[in-house]
Chain A
Amino acid sequence: MKIRKIVGEWYIYILMIMIWVIASLITPYFRQMSVFMTIIVFSVPLALIALGQNFVILSGRLDLSVGGILGLSTVIASVIMKNNLFIGILFPLLLGAVLGLINGIAISKFRIDSFIMTFGMMSVCQGIGLLIRDYPGGYIPSEYINFLLKETRHIALTPLFILIIVLVVGEFVLKRTNFGRAVYAIGNDDVIAHRSGINVSLIRTAVFIISGFTAAMAGLFLSAVMASGDATVGSLYPLDSITAVVMGGTILAGGRGDYKGTIGAVLILTSLARIFNLIGINIWYTYIAKGLLLLIIVAIRMFGVKQEREEVL
């Protein structure tokens, strides 16, 4: 019984270690620090976006606009940073939060379906991004890039710190603050939450603000990696972040799950891409692997979870 509980909570890390072990046995390249660093660096944007997405999904909704906000952030950064680095960082962050706020209000007050609203927002953001910069370009200051991506003794400190901080903050807010507990409550049953005095609209809106903000952060990081701004770079992130969140143990309907699992899933996804690259497997196999892994994990979870309600389907 106890083992089942531990596996249930940590399966994603068990899987991750297994993958790493197998990879290091198959190819000598994998044992190098530089490979790990690449994984860490490339995991950061997805980990950031998945944090916001995790909050949204836990509350019972979806955010498809994260890709658009990310792309828009890179574009704005590539335009403003040339003149003022500080504003170039601040403005996208604020914008991300404001866009999230718009999402949140539309979804909680006007009750527009979250799929539709965030889908629309994604188009709008990408469109605005393309208006500003219709092909990748712009200027990202090298001091900024250095700070974020510099390696000290082969370890990329900043990205590593970002991941650790994000993990700690995410878990902390979700498990140890009223706000986080309220998110779980709403995801489970918003009527009961409302009757218990929780301000459902406020929390609903807040999670979207968080999602927009983390998407902007991801964009700021990615702009350093790309050394440019690209409005369309975010198109894979909405679905990938949802994949990571669900793989990591959060239920799509909300109410159950946590962030540490999500980060584990992010690391797995990034690792797979890297490993396939190293072994020389066609990059397109990562898509197949991603899809299969997601489906297998969810299918197993469905079998593992005891069906207490009566058969519905």
Chain B
Amino acid sequence: MTGIGLKNRNINKDILQVIILSSLLVVIILVAGILKPDFLTAKHLITIAHDTSILGIAAIGQTIVILIGGIDLSVGATMLMADAVGAMLLGGQNRIIPILICLGLGLLIGAINGAGVAFLRIPPFIMTLGMMAILTGSIFIFAKTRGFASPILRYLSVGKVGNIPILIIIWIFLTIMMVVIMRLTVFGRAVYAIGSNPIASYHSGIKNKIVIFFVYVISGIFSAIAGLFLLGYTGVPELTYRGGGLGSDYTLSAIAAVIIGGTIFTGARGGVERTIFGVLVLKILFSILTMMGISGSGKLIAQGLIVIVIVGTYMKLEDL
């Protein structure tokens, strides 16, 4: 008996999603360009480029975590931790060791998360939530001296090659690197398989625990990288606490970007390449709203509605 219905339902849906996203992006940019011609100038686009890249880098790690069927609520907290610790240790000097320490910190945080989820079977939501709480407390206790970014870091974060900010190049490069790993290596296959069906993967001899562990390590490292570039961009660490858990706006934005990009929570579909769309849609929309003079409250409402509408549309697609 042969199949009934669309031959490759999920793969077709994938293509549809990409089409919807790119069209949405084009429409948004065009509308923005019409409403405010300034929007499309290089000058303006560059102002959002850095924020976008930083969110984009953090979202890379989050994508992989969501792909494997988990979630990382400590992304923002790890970012700000690396931000503060980096500033403290660098103190404005061009030194490599503090950078390595910060990356190591991200790795450690990821490793603890991964160990809890993979080996102790603590649900990812709880594990990373607990980690976020611990980091929230820790950062304000331990990161006392302010410090600031080193010149090299500043240059990387703020500098340009021609008209293109270096950060964007770094973001794209990291994305391509991860896409290659996810699509072409054994590790990547394992991640997709576990996300799609952990039982089937385990039955097939995949070492679920180890793969899941490393996924969280990766997320931790990417969060730390994003945090370091955040430091480089703003120059000084972000030590204001806005409630809801440290860095929660970054975390939730990253999650929103991943979901909008089309990677779904059950982890069966999507990929790092999709998150680029999600990040762009989120950031450009925000920027348009800012340009239109809509205040912070309006942006919040818009963000909420957008996420719901887009995901709702994806759900409708599922039913086809």
A residues at B contact (CB < 8 Å): 62, 67, 106, 110-113, 115-117, 119-131, 134, 231-232, 235-236, 238-239, 242-243, 246, 252-253, 282, 284-292, 294-295, 298-299, 302, 311-313
**Which residue on chain A has the smallest CB distance to residue B133?**
A291
Q: Is the CB of B308 within 8 A of A294?
A: no
11 contacts between A and B (CB under 8 A): A111-B318, A113-B264, A117-B311, A119-B256, A123-B301, A123-B304, A131-B298, A288-B141, A291-B132, A298-B130, A299-B116
CA distance A290 to B135 in the complex (A): 11
CB < 8 Å: which of B73, B131, B135, B312 contacts A106? B312
CA distance A231 to B244 in the complex (A): 13
B93 within 8 A of A: no
CA distance A94 to B241 in the complex (A): 32
CA distance A102 to B301 in the complex (A): 15
**Which residue on chain B has the smallest CB distance to residue A117?**
B308
> Hey, which chain B residues are within 8 Å of A311, CB to CB?
202
CA distance A243 to B306 in the complex (A): 28
Given A232-B243, A313-B118, the answer on whether A112 and B140 have CB atoms closer than 8 Å is no
**Which residue on chain A has the smallest CB distance to residue B260?**
A116
Interface centre among B244, B252, B303 (most CB of A within 10 A): B244
Q: Is the CB of A242 within 8 A of B304?
A: no
Q: Is the CB of B202 within 8 A of A242?
A: no
Given A120-B308, A130-B297, A242-B129, the answer on whether A235 and B242 have CB atoms closer than 8 Å is yes
Q: Is the CB of B209 within 8 A of A313?
A: yes
Interface centre among A113, A124, A287, A299 (most CB of B within 10 A): A287
CA distance A33 to B317 in the complex (A): 58
Q: Assuming A127-B298, A235-B243, what are 6 further A-B pairs, CB within 8 angstroms?
A: A120-B311, A282-B140, A287-B134, A287-B138, A290-B133, A312-B202
> Hey, which chain A residues are within 8 Å of B212, CB to CB?
313
**Which residue on chain A has the smallest CB distance to residue B305?**
A124
Number of A-B contacts (CB under 8 A): 172
> Hey, which chain B residues are within 8 Å of A111, CB to CB?
315, 318
Closest 5 CB pairs of A and B: A123-B304, A130-B297, A287-B137, A291-B133, A127-B301
Q: Is the CB of A112 within 8 A of B303?
A: no
> Hey, which chain A residues are within 8 Å of B300, CB to CB?
123-124, 126-127, 130
Q: Is the CB of B307 within 8 A of A119?
A: yes
CB < 8 Å: which of B121, B265, B306 contacts A115? B265
B120 within 8 A of A: yes
Q: Is the CB of A287 within 8 A of B202?
A: no
Q: Is the CB of B315 within 8 A of A129?
A: no
> Hey, which chain B residues are within 8 Å of A124, CB to CB?
300-301, 304-305
A310 to chain B, nearest CB (A): 8
CA distance A202 to B299 in the complex (A): 33
Interface centre among B71, B130, B259 (most CB of A within 10 A): B130
Q: Is the CB of A313 within 8 A of B137?
A: no
Q: Is the CB of A120 within 8 A of B307?
A: yes
CB < 8 Å: which of A110, A130, A239, A292 contacts B296? A130
CA distance A134 to B294 in the complex (A): 13
Q: Is the CB of A294 within 8 A of B126?
A: yes
CA distance A112 to B316 in the complex (A): 9
B240 to chain A, nearest CB (A): 13
A104 to chain B, nearest CB (A): 14
> Hey, which chain B residues are within 8 Å of A67, CB to CB?
244
B295 within 8 A of A: yes
CA distance A167 to B134 in the complex (A): 29
**Which residue on chain B has the smallest CB distance to residue A294?**
B130
Q: Is the CB of A112 within 8 A of B311?
A: yes
CA distance A287 to B208 in the complex (A): 31
**Which residue on chain A has the smallest CB distance to residue B134?**
A291
For B56-74 the 0/1 string (1 means CB < 8 A from A) is 0000000000000001010
A132 to chain B, nearest CB (A): 9
> Hey, which chain B residues are within 8 Å of A291, CB to CB?
129-137
Given A120-B304, A232-B243, A292-B130, the answer on whether A128 and B122 have CB atoms closer than 8 Å is no
> Hey, which chain A residues are within 8 Å of B308, CB to CB?
106, 112, 116-117, 120-121
B98 within 8 A of A: no
Q: Is the CB of A134 within 8 A of B295?
A: yes
CA distance A112 to B116 in the complex (A): 28
CA distance A106 to B313 in the complex (A): 12
A234 to chain B, nearest CB (A): 9
B33 within 8 A of A: no
CA distance A57 to B118 in the complex (A): 22
Interface centre among A123, A235, A285 (most CB of B within 10 A): A123
CA distance A49 to B118 in the complex (A): 31
**Which residue on chain A has the smallest CB distance to residue B265?**
A113
B194 to chain A, nearest CB (A): 9
Q: Is the CB of B304 within 8 A of A252?
A: no
Q: Is the CB of B202 within 8 A of A246?
A: no
CA distance A49 to B98 in the complex (A): 42
> Hey, which chain B residues are within 8 Å of A312, CB to CB?
198-199, 202, 208
Cβ < 8 Å to A, chain B residues 273-320: 295-308, 311-312, 315-316, 318
> Hey, which chain B residues are within 8 Å of A238, CB to CB?
244
**Which residue on chain A has the smallest CB distance to residue B301?**
A127
CA distance A122 to B45 in the complex (A): 29
For B220-234 the 0/1 string (1 means CB < 8 A from A) is 000000000000000
> Hey, which chain B residues are within 8 Å of A298, CB to CB?
122-123, 126, 130
B127 within 8 A of A: yes
**Which residue on chain B has the smallest CB distance to residue A296?**
B130
CA distance A238 to B295 in the complex (A): 24
CA distance A292 to B132 in the complex (A): 10
CA distance A129 to B315 in the complex (A): 29
> Hey, which chain B residues are within 8 Å of A242, CB to CB?
125, 129
Q: Is the CB of B244 within 8 A of A288?
A: no
